[in-house]
A and B are shown apart, each in its own frame.
Chain A
């Protein structure tokens, strides 16, 4: 069975601070996919990034960066120079490969509420 753990539940920072959101996952599959989603106060779920299990290259997109380490089963997300608009709930999710007619559902962590104060 697959599992995603986001041990941090709430994080509060002051604007311009860097913040890292942790995600640890469990799966028995050798092929799997990891995702981060953002849920702003308006409630919608916004897809941020996907990584596959064969690609451990870290990624940077503007102020966002992701650190994927298979050795520790972690897929952490860092926001550099945080802004008030980054305030949201952030979910890490795992999907197994899903061959043929398989579901390949998303298993979500419980989310991290990030508050960025001005």
Chain B
């Protein structure tokens, strides 16, 4: 089954404790992206990757890092999480080409205390 898999689905942690949210897709997509969803703000892009070793900032990259060492994986790293990073996070991937729909993982709900 074609899917985007995120782990963990839920995480409660404390300020300053480094964490990584993993994302993996099995569709051989070149493009991957991370979004965060906050009440009243909708979804906003954090980082994206056009291909292996090619990453760039989205609209709200502060406090986050990403890496793309393999095509299928695109982890999101919070080196020193803060409470304002409490949010629902989505990883997405899509085929190369204009206008291809992005397919989303099931989301990761992070709470930073």
Contact = CB atoms under 8 A, between A and B. Distances in A.
A binds B: yes
A45 B8 CA distance: 17
Contacts of B20: none
A43 B69 CA distance: 28
- Judged by DSSP, the binding face of A is loop
B106 A101 contact: no
Contacts of B98: 31, 33, 97-99, 104
Interface residues of A, number: 25
Nearest to A48: B101
A106 B42 CA distance: 11
Nearest to A49: B101
B58 A105 contact: yes
> Which A-B residue pairs are the 4 nearest by beta carbons?
A33-B99, A45-B104, A110-B42, A108-B43
Interface of A: 31, 33, 35, 37, 42-45, 47, 50, 52, 91, 95, 97-99, 101, 103-106, 108-111
27 contacts: A33-B98, A35-B101, A43-B88, A43-B106, A44-B105, A44-B107, A45-B90, A45-B104, A45-B107, A47-B101, A50-B101, A97-B98, A97-B99, A98-B98, A101-B50, A101-B54, A103-B45, A103-B48, A103-B58, A105-B33, A105-B45, A105-B58, A105-B59, A106-B102, A108-B42, A108-B43, A111-B42
